[in-house]
């Protein structure tokens, strides 16, 4: 089965842990992940500036490792990211901001990427939300 996964909740929310566990289990079960789409507060999971206390699970680091190791398409919604100050090199330069906090393996893109993923997948699985 092909899955598209959308994460709407903040970096250390329980739904972020559940999303990662689901994604890991899906791949372990022989399924395919068409795309991971980070939207609304989910964009914080891709930020390089998240600092996790030593006694907690570092979910942003685990997401980064997971996406990199499995060479997944990790897309961060550009509108949600800009609104929350999550910027790659290009957007930081465009808006003349001094900090960059989004790097590989993440890619900034629009909601069209979520639409394309839904079209290519058998199921869209969403975690978190308003």
Q: Is 126 a catalytic residue?
A: no
Burial of 101: CB neighbours in 10 Å, binned 0-12, 13-18, 19+: middle
Considering the candidates 6, 75, 77, 117, report the single residue annotated as catalytic: 77
**Residue whose C-alpha is closest to residue 127's, from 33, 46, 17:** 17
Q: Phi/psi at 124 (nearest 5 deg)?
A: -100, 125
Q: Please identify every residue annotated as catalytic.
A: 77
């Amino acid at each position: 089965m092909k899955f598209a996964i959308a994460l709407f909740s903040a970096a250390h929310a329980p739904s972020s842990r559940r999303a990662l566990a689901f994604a890991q289990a899906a791949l372990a079960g022989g399924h395919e992940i068409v795309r991971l789409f980070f939207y609304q507060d989910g964009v914080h999971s891709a930020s390089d500036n998240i600092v996790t206390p030593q006694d907690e699970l570092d979910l942003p680091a685990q997401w980064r490792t997971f996406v990199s190791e499995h060479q997944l398409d990790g897309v961060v919604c550009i509108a949600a990211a800009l609104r929350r100050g999550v910027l790659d090199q290009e957007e930081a330069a465009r808006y003349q901001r001094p900090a960059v906090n989004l790097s590989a393996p993440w890619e900034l893109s629009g909601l069209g990427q979520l639409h394309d993923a839904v079209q290519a997948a058998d199921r869209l699985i969403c975690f978190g939300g308003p």
